[in-house]
Structure 1
Amino acid sequence: MTYSTYRQILIHQPNRKFVRLLIITEEAVRLVHFDRSGLYFSPYVDIHEDPYTFVKLVAGLTACDEEILGLDTSIQWTIDKKTGRKIAGTIEAPSKDGDTAFKYNLCMKTLPFVRPSVRGRGTTCYRAVDPTSGEVYVIKDSWRTESRNPEIEYLKAAHGLDGVVQSIAYQDDCAQTSSFRPKDAGNDSDPEFFNRVKSRVVMENHGGPLESFKSRSQLIAAFRDTILGHQNLLLKGVLHRDIGVHNILLGSLNAAPGKRGIIIDLDMAMWIARSASSKINDDYRTGLQRFHSIASLLRKELALVPPHDFWDDLESFFYVLLFILLMYER
């Protein structure tokens, strides 16, 4: 299996936490494990000298237990027996009333948004309905590095702000990639391994992606209100740092000024007053490079460039606008 094959599995099975397979030769077997922290593989095991381990590996990978197979059991699908297609589904997430295992109905007409990256945050968004109230929400799963602040810290700061996504409920530490591997797989001898923690946030539903605008005035209004939202965050001491075309949504139909564009994804945000300059500079990989400011792109090579600030984010807004202007004829 290649990384591209693993990526396709994640796209078509968005509730996957990890994927495992065996490499088998006539003499040995090796376990290969993929998750959001990357790739892990075991040493080769001689199947003739140690047949018991070989049998255990085969039995484990052919188990019927969804948890063992790497599936998130808090998401369940109803399958049409005739076609084999998913026709309904539920997702467990916290509710605004404090229920930690509330079941929302998944909107089957809307495909989940799945970030196609293999290693990283693995952001996945589901549109779901509260069966008691009929309210539509967006439920977002993501995997942050263990050292990074959870997104809910910034979402709480954004509460009530125009132009910024609003959270309803939040669940942290749903899973950790370190628990999927042997204890010694992520020690100091492996600098490439970063433990990632899964979180789930329930957010208000808004309009579609920025690219789905219907008129020039709608596009400009969305830009105006998201830039205002960015300023509102900044006044709360939060720097977004991940402005891109996928992190700007249109407001709901007939939204009031201030809510016609919504800035989302605060995973990469930082507190301005608490962030050391060196820490911000080191994180040059934040977001899509096509929307990075020139200074952000230079930080990888130049140690004297000033730390990321709101000017870099405003430059990213400009590049998003250029992207829209160049990609659309009218």
Structure 2
Amino acid sequence: MLHTHYFDRSSIIISLPFNIHKSPGSIHLCDALDALTLPDSRHLGLDPTIHMCHAGCNGTHVNLADGVIGWVKDNKSNVYLIMAVLWKSHGFFCRGTVCYCVRNKEGKEYALKDCWVEESKKMHEPTVKDIPNVVNLIDNGDVYYEGQPDCTARIREKYGQDQRDDTAFCNRFHRHFLLSPCGEPFSQFSSRTELIMAFRHFVIAHQAMIELMSPTWGPQS
């Protein structure tokens, strides 16, 4: 018995099973194989706004600088070169957050957060600026696909999945957040002193956030 499974950040879609031996001429099996091997990669759920280099494209991007492992485009057609993957979550569902170190055409580095956010929490990211040791939000917005915001409801419409009456379905929007500056991972610290200084900076940032959000509290110990 053959099932097809489609995973997105909201849940999974599973097709009805069929017997690959009893189907007339195994036409359904051939259709399934064709659907996986012949279509444009975008129809398999791959993000067309981002490219990660792999063994198959080595030597084909001669115009890329040393150390570049891919690139990503925003809705304004700006191209950011991906220098490193800083962190990524695991699993098929929920936010699916990936954080990249990216560089613009002028050579300035940023942190780019790519994630799938619940529709009700699209605007929950903080927009405060100029807090000591806290990154600034430079830009944010939905990732657009074929002229409209990319979301799991849009994906499922193509497969005849109407989720409006499904209370268990949680629509998630594909979002990008551009942050500055881009810090160094803990794994790259060269001494205990640097690690301790990082925690000290956390405390300073936390103190500044408390004073900003609750001015009437006064200084906190």
* 2:120 alignment partner, SS class: coil
Q: 1:56 to 1:185 in 2, by over 3 A?
A: farther
1:201-236 Cα deviation digits (max 9, x unpaired) = 111133322354434443333223222322333344
Q: Which residue matches 2:131?
A: 161
The residue type paired with residue 166 of structure 1 is N
Q: 1:173 to 1:89 in 2, by over 3 A?
A: closer
Q: 1:168 to 1:87 in 2, by over 3 A?
A: closer
Tell me: higher relative CO, structure 1 or 2? Use CA pairs within 8 A at least 6 residues apart.
Answer: 2
Gaps of 5+ in 2: 61-66, 145-149, 215-221
Q: Which residue matches 1:254?
A: none
1:269-328 Cα deviation digits (max 9, x unpaired) = xxxxxxxxxxxxxxxxxxxxxxxxxxxxxxxxxxxxxxxxxxxxxxxxxxxxxxxxxxxx
* 1:225 alignment partner, SS class: helix
Query: Does the CA-based 8 Å contact 1:63-1:69 persist in structure 2?
Result: no
Q: Which residue matches 2:11?
A: 38
Q: Which residue matches 2:147?
A: none
* 1:201 alignment partner, SS class: strand
After superposition, residues 10-89 of structure 1 pair within 5 angstroms as 25=1, 29-44=2-17, 48=23, 56-77=31-52, 79-80=57-58, 88-89=69-70
Q: How far is 1:70 from its partner?
A: 1.4
Q: 1:142 to 1:77 in 2, by over 3 A?
A: closer
Q: 1:53 to 1:146 in 2, by over 3 A?
A: farther
Q: Which residue matches 1:140?
A: 113
Give the Cα separation in 1 of the matches to 2:58 and 2:188: 32
Query: Does the CA-based 8 Å contact 2:49-2:72 persist in structure 1?
Result: yes
Q: How far is 1:121 from its partner?
A: 1.1
Q: Which residue matches 1:123?
A: 97
Q: Which residue matches 2:190?
A: 214
Q: How far is 1:237 from its partner?
A: 3.5
Q: 1:40 to 1:190 in 2, by over 3 A?
A: farther
Q: Please report the TM-score for the alignment, with normalisation by the length of structure 2.
A: 0.72
Give the Cα separation in 1 of the matches to 2:172 and 2:199: 32
Q: Is 1:179 the counterpart of 2:154 in the alignment?
A: yes
Q: How far is 1:73 from its partner?
A: 1.2
Gaps of 5+ in 1: 1-24, 95-99, 239-330
Q: How many residues align?
A: 196
The residue type paired with residue 218 of structure 1 is E
Give the Cα separation in 1 of the matches to 2:137 and 2:80: 16
After superposition, residues 192-207 of structure 1 pair within 5 angstroms as 193-207=169-183
Q: 1:64 to 1:42 in 2, by over 3 A?
A: closer
Query: Does the CA-based 8 Å contact 2:86-2:185 persist in structure 1?
Result: no
Q: Please report the TM-score for the alignment, with normalisation by the length of structure 1.
A: 0.51
Q: 1:187 to 1:46 in 2, by over 3 A?
A: farther
Q: 1:236 to 1:44 in 2, by over 3 A?
A: farther
Percent identity between the aligned chains? 26
Query: Does the CA-based 8 Å contact 2:119-2:173 persist in structure 1?
Result: yes
After superposition, residues 286-297 of structure 1 pair within 5 angstroms as none
Q: How far is 1:135 from its partner?
A: 0.8
Q: Which residue matches 2:208?
A: 232
Q: Is 1:93 the counterpart of 2:74 in the alignment?
A: yes
Query: Does the CA-based 8 Å contact 2:85-2:98 persist in structure 1?
Result: no
Give the Cα separation in 1 of the matches to 2:73 and 2:192: 39
Query: Does the CA-based 8 Å contact 2:122-2:173 persist in structure 1?
Result: no
